[in-house]
Amino acid sequence: MDKILEGLVSSSHPLPLKRVIVRRVVESAETPLSQAQCRAMFALSTRLVLQGPDPFQRQVGRQVLEAYGRYHRDEFEAFFNRGLVLGLLQRGYGELSNRDPAILDYIQAGLRLIMSCPSVLELFELLQVEALRLVCERPAPPLCARLCQLLGDFPQCLPRGRKLSLAFCQQLVRSIAHFQSQGSREAELRLYVSQVTQVSGLLRSVWKAEPDTLLPSLQELFAVISAAVSYVMLCSTITDTSFEPSVALASLVQHIPLQMITVLIRSLTTDPNVKDASMTQALCRMIDWLSWPLAQHVETWVIALLKGLAAVQKFTILIDVTLLKIELVFNRLWFPLVRPGALAVLSHMLLSFQHSPEAFHLIVPHVVSLVHSFKRDGLPSSTAFLMQLTELIHCMMYHYSGFPELYEPILEAVKDMPKPTEEKIKMILSQSAWTSQSSSLPSCLSRLSGKSETGKTGLINLGNTCYMNSVIQALFMATDFRRHVLSLNLNGCNSLMRKLQHLFAFLAHTQREAYAPRIFFEASRPPWFTPRSQQDCSEYLRFLLDRLHEEERTLKALSSTKTSETIMNEESQTQEAVRKAQVFAEAPCMGSEERTLIEKMFGGKLKTTICCLNCKSMSQKEEAFTDLSLAFCPPTSLESVGPKCVERSEVKDDYMVQTNALATSLAGETPPSNLEANGGCDTIMNEGTIKEFSTEPNSENTTNSELNKVEDNRDMSQRLVGKNTLSVTDLLNYFLAPEILSGDNKYYCEKCASLQNAEKTMQIIEEPEYLILTLLRFSYDPKCHIRRKILDNVSLPLVLELPVKRATSHLSVGSGGWSVGVEISDIGENLAKKLKPSGADEVACPQLVPYMLSSVVVHSGVSSESGHYYSYARNVTGSGPSGLCHQSTALSLVSRQDKLLTEESPCTVVENELDTEMPREWFLFNDSRVTFTSFQSVQKITSRFPKDTAYVLFYKRQNSTCGFNTNTANGLWVNGDPPLQKDLMDAITKDNKLYLQLIYTLYQT
């Protein structure tokens, strides 16, 4: 039968006759045949399929092979074995090369015939290996497309295992990069496009089945398009030195989920390993992809990358790429298939490139001809594009006026087209400029798309943990503190500071939109805080700083004692341990190198002086603070006098007199007072009540001149509180203003040996790097047994001058010295009458230290037990504008004749200038959500939302280096955070990869 068939197909008989005989041969396949006869028919049909000189013989071969293989399956299974398939793939068939697509056609036909046979599993394993080998050899588009078709029909032949599957995807990406069209005619181009589509479709199927392969494939894609020609040559078999990665790579873009744009672009633009030259090369090649006819979303990725580079201020790359590629992008407008994407990219490039007319003027000579072409088309689509293009051109000519000779032909060409209004032009121009930083990534993306456009990371609310989230974000935005925490070497340590470092590292480098701080929350939550209930953020902040300080102090003492063990005997070790403990307890004697990080960043000192008005003896005491709690001054006048109102920032009353760990270590006394304005008391008035100012000092101990001083201070205080809106400066003045201790609150003078009227003054003698101010908005109402909130609006100065009174000589504490831990909460309702000093001030004038507002924690609600916390913050470093406020022109609290600090300071002008010069420098942190905002929004928050009030303020001291040398030899501290410890960086990198894979998996689901 095989001889008859062979003679027939090669004979000169008419073709219809041949087909009739062939049909009978095919029908005879149902009759039984010997094994030798079957093999002869299979060999003949194989030869006809692979080597037939004309389409008829090849068709006959396929028909005979299919018929005899179906009816004689066992014999065909023995014929179509591993040896035959391997020989075809590696050596070809006769004169037919193994790289001919016909080989794969034949193998696919054979696999269909033996799908139900056991031997097919062996062939699948063989093809898994051979498929990877084939793509590594960079097959031409026809062969690669045929291979992908086979693998698509038989996915069992795809390489298995993560390593092989990943290698297959990466090599297939590189194979696409080598694709080149073999012709220029339409039919040839259509065939080429279909072949590329076949290959990219297989990659999409693999990515969908195995999401782990997507990210490495995209990394391979970026490596190809960002590499220089020389590098590409090393990875290829092409010897042409002019090789450029094929635009066919654009076919892969449509298969990448848009939900990954934000994460991938931000990861790409912030990766320090990606050099500017590589990024420029990659962006140029991506713009070339706009010419690929069927690729979707190419323009979306190009624009996202342009915006991402603008966000990290890579303006050199943007300028170079724009000038190099804008004419190519404009020329793509001539081709209807790619016109929409090209116009979108062109619009973004022109509207963002607003610092110079150079880019626009490159395309000006080509505008008129394109406009005329659109008009001649007369198609609705062409007219719509012409209107968009005209609007864009009008915006550019408006922005770059003064070139009439260039623009006159264009104006003539578009004179019959609608012209946008001036308001619309201004709006369009303001949206995309690099300098405006208003560019945002596509809003259609899922909220799983990574960080917001701000580049900052939110914190997930774990159940009424907004009080912690707002404080952590404020501390994180304290740039110098964050950098020092990240630079600590805490390997092997399970301390709270280590957990804070871990949290800061993730906030700085994670690709997640928001991070869940579960570990840190459990480690830092005060024991008396009930989980999942609202708490006071000020109380949490104070507890956190105390814990960090005590922990570091203890570790230093242990480390010092352990080191000494190797050189001291047992007796000297004991003495040394006692000495070390004394050194750490006597903080005023500690050198800067022995201070804890909390002391260096937030620690300041207050000096309290009590002067007996009878004998003029003075008692002084210094105490440390990490924050100042500012009570509200009287809001209207002093005519209505009532019990003193105290606002407590702590939830629990007994916490009012609880020892502050940092203050204890610095003052050497137990227990010290919390540094609330003038201590505490047991009664309050309603919201907006007035602090009591007594004008009835004891007649036995108060002279007429002192009474006159009292009256003078009444007038001064009335001027202070006569304003409608209080400011932080007013509250700070009120905190530092002197008090008269009289009546039930007389001072026991040891020199007089009796209770006497006295004057109490407080002065800041050492300023902190970060000044934390808590506005005491919560006051306890004993009648209702609740803590009410004072909703008064407080003006927040951007620049604050802190009066720091450094004594010219050391003053010894008098014999009548008093303990810092006096019964603050036991003093009666007539505790303190705020009066001007009678001469107890030192002669030295305070120095005004400028501070810049860094963060504001806002409480929204009417009580401390409910509501919500969020925070505003900005990046403020130690190097601020020099000479912000000069002591010669500023007003300070120094003596009776001087004025209090007022808002009429020269710094008021500086505030406005600083805020207008730094747009979008403010951020709003609201749990998981982070957005851009402005200082005007911070100032107006209470006027717009009456229940939202500033509560805790962070100010950063200007013109300061924090006592640390941040200019290290390797420059790691310049313009950025320090490098992370390897284990931290590895953990973040691993988490980022898992997150990207999660995004893709969820998208596919």
pLDDT of residue 563: 59
Name the burial class of residue 418, with classes exposed (0-12), middle (13-18) and buried (19+) by CB atoms within 10 angstroms of its CB. exposed
**Separation between Cα atoms, residue 22 and residue 18, nearest integer Å:** 6
Given a cut of 70, is residue 597 above it in pLDDT?
A: yes
Given a cut of 50, is residue 641 above it in pLDDT?
A: no
Band (pLDDT 50/70/90 cuts) for residue 458 is very high
**Separation between Cα atoms, residue 817 and residue 225, nearest integer Å:** 76
**Separation between Cα atoms, residue 525 and residue 533, nearest integer Å:** 12
- Over range 960-977, report the average pLDDT: 50
Cα angle 70-74-80, degrees, rounded to a multiple of 5: 85
Residue 251 tokens read as: 């076919």
Band (pLDDT 50/70/90 cuts) for residue 850 is very high
pLDDT of residue 980: 83
- Over range 985-992, report the average pLDDT: 86
**Separation between Cα atoms, residue 870 and residue 471, nearest integer Å:** 9
Three-state DSSP state, 805: coil
57: phi then psi, degrees, rounded to nearest 5: -65, -40
- Over range 731-750, report the average pLDDT: 90
- pLDDT tens digit string along 873-905? 997 765 444 333 333 333 333 333 333 344 444
Band (pLDDT 50/70/90 cuts) for residue 105 is very high
pLDDT of residue 936: 86
C-alpha gyration radius of the chain? 40
- Which of 248-257, 589-598, 613-622, 674-683 is least confident? 674-683
**Which of residues 553 and 844 earns the better pLDDT score?**
553
pLDDT of residue 404: 63
- Which of 69-73, 625-629, 819-823 is least confident? 819-823
**Separation between Cα atoms, residue 289 and residue 295, nearest integer Å:** 8
854: phi then psi, degrees, rounded to nearest 5: -110, -45
Nearest to 831 by CA among 717, 684, 728: 684
**Which of residues 836 and 522 earns the better pLDDT score?**
522
Distances, alpha carbon 429 to alpha carbons 71, 385, 397, 402, in Å: 74, 19, 11, 18
DSSP 674: P
Q: What share of residues in the chain are helix, strand, coil (percent, to 5)? A: 50, 10, 35
DSSP β-ladder status, 778-781 and 726-727: unpaired
**Which of residues 1004 and 628 earns the better pLDDT score?**
628
Distances, alpha carbon 519 to alpha carbons 496, 524, 539, 790, in Å: 10, 9, 20, 34
Active site residues: 466, 868
**Which of residues 569 and 38 earns the better pLDDT score?**
38
Residue pair 199/131 in contact (Cβ under 8 Å)? The answer is no
pLDDT of residue 33: 83
Residue 270 CB contacts under 8 Å (≥ 6 apart), including other chains: 312
**Residue 107 CB neighbours (<10 A):** 22
- Over range 621-644, report the average pLDDT: 67
Band (pLDDT 50/70/90 cuts) for residue 204 is very high
Residue 653 tokens read as: 């009353």
- pLDDT tens digit string along 757-770? 999 999 999 999 99
Name the burial class of residue 172, with classes exposed (0-12), middle (13-18) and buried (19+) by CB atoms within 10 angstroms of its CB. buried
pLDDT of residue 533: 87
- Which of 96-100, 411-415, 721-725, 951-955 is least confident? 721-725
pLDDT of residue 977: 77
**Separation between Cα atoms, residue 877 and residue 958, nearest integer Å:** 8
pLDDT of residue 357: 79
- Which of 420-424, 477-481, 714-718, 786-790 is least confident? 714-718
- pLDDT tens digit string along 176-203? 999 988 778 888 888 999 999 999 999 9
158: phi then psi, degrees, rounded to nearest 5: -70, 140
b or e along 927-937 (b: 16 or more beta carbons within 10 Å of the residue's beta carbon)?
Answer: bbebebbbbee
b or e along 271-282 (b: 16 or more beta carbons within 10 Å of the residue's beta carbon)?
Answer: eeeeeeebbbbb
pLDDT of residue 556: 82
pLDDT of residue 541: 96
**Residue 890 CB neighbours (<10 A):** 17
pLDDT of residue 849: 92
- pLDDT tens digit string along 769-817? 999 999 998 877 777 777 788 888 999 999 999 999 875 544 433 333 3
Residue 763 tokens read as: 């002065």
Cα-Cα-Cα-Cα torsion 461, 465, 467, 471, nearest 10 degrees, comes to -60
**Residue 751 CB neighbours (<10 A):** 16
Percent of residues, the chain, with pLDDT higher than 90: 33
pLDDT of residue 296: 81
Q: How is 807-832 classified by DSSP, letter by letter?
A: -SSPPPPPTT---TTS-GGGS-TT--
pLDDT of residue 401: 63
**Residue 83 CB neighbours (<10 A):** 8
b or e along 8-38 (b: 16 or more beta carbons within 10 Å of the residue's beta carbon)?
Answer: ebeeeeeeeebeeebeebbeebeeebeeeeb
Name the burial class of residue 161, with classes exposed (0-12), middle (13-18) and buried (19+) by CB atoms within 10 angstroms of its CB. exposed
- Which of 26-40, 204-218, 784-798, 951-965 is least confident? 951-965
Band (pLDDT 50/70/90 cuts) for residue 1004 is low
- pLDDT tens digit string along 436-452? 333 333 333 334 456 67
pLDDT of residue 579: 54
Given a cut of 70, is residue 426 above it in pLDDT?
A: yes
- Over range 136-160, report the average pLDDT: 93
542: phi then psi, degrees, rounded to nearest 5: -65, -40
Percent of residues, the chain, with pLDDT higher than 70: 73
- Over range 161-167, report the average pLDDT: 90
- Measured N-to-C along each axis, helices 982-1004 and 261-269 cross at an angle, to the nearest 10 degrees, of 150
pLDDT of residue 835: 38
Residue pair 779/647 in contact (Cβ under 8 Å)? The answer is yes
Phi-psi bin for 478: left (phi > 0), alpha (psi -120 to 50), beta? beta
356: phi then psi, degrees, rounded to nearest 5: -155, 145
Residue pair 667/587 in contact (Cβ under 8 Å)? The answer is yes
Residue 960 CB contacts under 8 Å (≥ 6 apart), including other chains: 769, 878
- Which of 190-199, 229-238, 410-419, 811-820 is least confident? 811-820
Distances, alpha carbon 342 to alpha carbons 297, 300, 307, 332, 484, in Å: 11, 10, 16, 6, 47
- Over range 928-942, report the average pLDDT: 85
- Over range 825-849, report the average pLDDT: 48
Distances, alpha carbon 644 to alpha carbons 655, 774, 799, in Å: 20, 19, 31
pLDDT of residue 626: 92
pLDDT of residue 860: 82
**Separation between Cα atoms, residue 411 and residue 425, nearest integer Å:** 16
**Which of residues 357 and 566 earns the better pLDDT score?**
357
**Residue 897 CB neighbours (<10 A):** 7
Given a cut of 90, is residue 235 above it in pLDDT?
A: no
- pLDDT tens digit string along 244-295? 899 899 898 888 888 888 888 888 888 888 888 999 999 999 999 888 887 7
SS3 string of 71-116? HCHHHHHHHCCHHHHHHHHHHCECCECCCCHHHHHHHHHHHHHCCC
* Mean pLDDT over the full length of the chain: 76
Given a cut of 70, is residue 918 above it in pLDDT?
A: no
**Separation between Cα atoms, residue 852 and residue 855, nearest integer Å:** 9
Instruction: Give Cα 987 to chain centroid, integer Å.
Output: 17
DSSP β-ladder status, 758-766 and 739-741: antiparallel
